[in-house]
Structure 1
Amino acid sequence: MPRNLSEDEVSLFRERLCEVATRLFAERGLDAVPMRQLAVELGVSPMTPYRYFRDKDDILAAVRTRGFNKFAEALEKARASVRDPVLIGDAVCNAYLDFAFANPHIYKLIFDVNQPTRHEYPELMAAEQRARDTMSAWVKDQIEAGLIVGDPEEIGYIMWASTHGLVMLELAGKLPKGSARSLKKAALRLMEAGCRPRGSMPHTTKRSTARK
């Protein structure tokens, strides 16, 4: 009979299982990774994962919840590190790209996987919403500063679609390494030019201080 585990032991094993699942799901695809394979990778009995998760979908939800929160934390930190609204777009977009290329397995699982049961997991829904909010918060900063005009949610979605597309193309080898970052800068400039208040001058001051 299995012994009772402490909360720390449960948390540590869940974290280990999620790390293994993240890698295998991204490398092989969800359908090619049964629960038994996760147990083999962890060196435990086939039934052990079921002590911590109901099924594979439950594991996927936990993996994606962690991924969305880590992604959101990275973007929130970047936004908080910059006071000048002129530079916020660069900082947040750079943080987005840094996260995507440093964590390709996590990135693909949070943005390139369809999970029909996601609505059954409140923590996943909250983490996903948090991540989406971070992708338009910097746009609201620029609007409030009078640098651009428009719907922050709409602009945020456009920039998200552009950045995501560039990331996936580079991860797939369809773009040379580093292209996503340079093309992102061009996309950001085009967005800012198109959303600039009528009659205003381009806000290029201090732009050179942002990391390229």
Structure 2
Amino acid sequence: MPKALSDQDVAEFRDRLCDAAEHLFAEQGPEAVTMRQLAQALGVSAMTPYRYFKDKDAILAAVRARGFNRHADVLERAYDEAKTSGGDVSEAVGRAYVRFAFDNPEAYKLMFDITQPNEADYPELVAAGERSRATMTQHLDELIGEGRLTGDKDLIGHLYWAAIHGPIMLQFSGKLAPPFRAERLIGELVAILNAHFFPPAAANEA
């Protein structure tokens, strides 16, 4: 009979399993990874992962939810630190986004570069994704409230997101070469968007 597991035992094994799954899913693609491979990566029996997750989709959802929450943690911390220091919140959040992507490439790819058709079946994943997206546009609400920015917040947010996400994914896929690295392209694209949404008069008033 399997021993009774404490909440800590469960949490620790789930974390270990998600660590292994994040790497394997990003390296091989979720479809190619089997539950047996995940068990082998942890040195446990083939049936052990089923004590903690219903199936591979549930593991993928947990891995992605964890990524979104880590992403939100980083962006929220950057936002709070910039607010406390009087810094440029938009710039701080943007830098934090890019830093997270390059510090956590496997998690980032699983968050944004795959489609999980049954995503709605996993409330924790949905909540984590919504939290992550909210951290990307929180500063836009303030800019609109201060009258420094006008327009459709969702559209503006997606434009900046595309300007950041596109070069990151191009670099991850090996499509960029010096001097056209992601950071340079992002800087140029964001400067163009800033010039459009924050004309010189608005910038001087700020």
TM-score normalized by structure 2?
0.92
Aligned to 2:120, what secondary structure does the other structure show? helix
Partner of 2:188: 186
Counterparts of 1:20-35 in structure 2, within 5 Å, are 20-35=20-35
String of CA shifts for 1:134-193, please: whole Å, max 9, x gaps.
Answer: 111122222233332212221111111221111000111212368222222222222122
Q: Which structure features the higher share of helix residues?
A: 2
TM-superposed deviation, 1:202: 5.5
> Does residue 203 of structure 1 match 2:203?
yes
Where does residue 97 of structure 2 map in the other structure?
96
> Matched residues in 2 for 1:151 and 1:165: separation?
21
Q: Any gaps of 5 or more consecutive residues in structure 1?
A: 207-212
Name the structure 2 match of 1:45: 45
Q: Which has the higher contact order (CA 8 A, sep 6+)?
A: 1
Per-residue deviation at 1:118?
0.5
Specify the code of the residue in structure 2 equivalent to 1:46. Answer: A
Q: Aligned residue for 2:76?
A: 76
* 1:38-187 map, 5 Å: 38-83=38-83, 87-176=88-177, 179-187=181-189
Is the Cα–Cα contact under 8 Å of residues 85 and 145 in structure 1 kept in the other structure? Answer: no
Deviates more, 1:74-83 or 1:10-19: 74-83
- Residues 163, 190 of structure 2: 8 Å contact kept: no
Equivalent residue for 2:12?
Answer: 12
Q: Which amino acid aligns with 2:52?
A: Y
Secondary structure of the 1:81 match is: helix
Superposed CA RMSD in Å reads 2.0
CA 1:193/1:148 → structure 2, altered by over 3 Å: closer, same or farther? farther
Q: State the one-letter code of the partner of 1:167.
A: I
* TM-score normalised by structure 1 residue count: 0.89
Residue 86 and residue 13 in structure 1: after superposition, are their counterparts in 2 closer, same or farther (change >3 A)? closer
Paired residue secondary structure (1:82)? helix
Q: Please tell me whether the aligned partners of residues 148 and 192 of structure 1 are also in contact (alpha carbons under 8 angstroms).
A: no
Give the Cα–Cα distance (whole angstroms) in 2 for the partners of residues 73 and 118 of structure 1. Answer: 21
Amino acid at match of 1:131: S
Give the drift of 1:196: 2.8
Q: What is the CA-CA distance between 1:203 and the residue it aligns to?
A: 2.0
What do the CA deviations read for 1:54-73 (whole angstroms, capped 9, x no partner)? Answer: 00000001001100000011
Equivalent pairs, count:
204
Offset at 1:96?
0.5
> Using the alignment, how far apart are the partners of 2:8 and 2:126 within structure 1?
25
Provide the C-alpha distance between the structure 2 equivalents of 1:148 and 1:192, rounded to a whole number of angstroms: 10
Query: Equivalents in 2 of 1:68, 1:174: separation in Å?
Result: 25
With 128-137 and 44-53 compared, the bigger mean Cα shift is at 128-137
Take 1:38 and 1:155, find their aligned partners in 2: how far apart are those partners?
Answer: 40
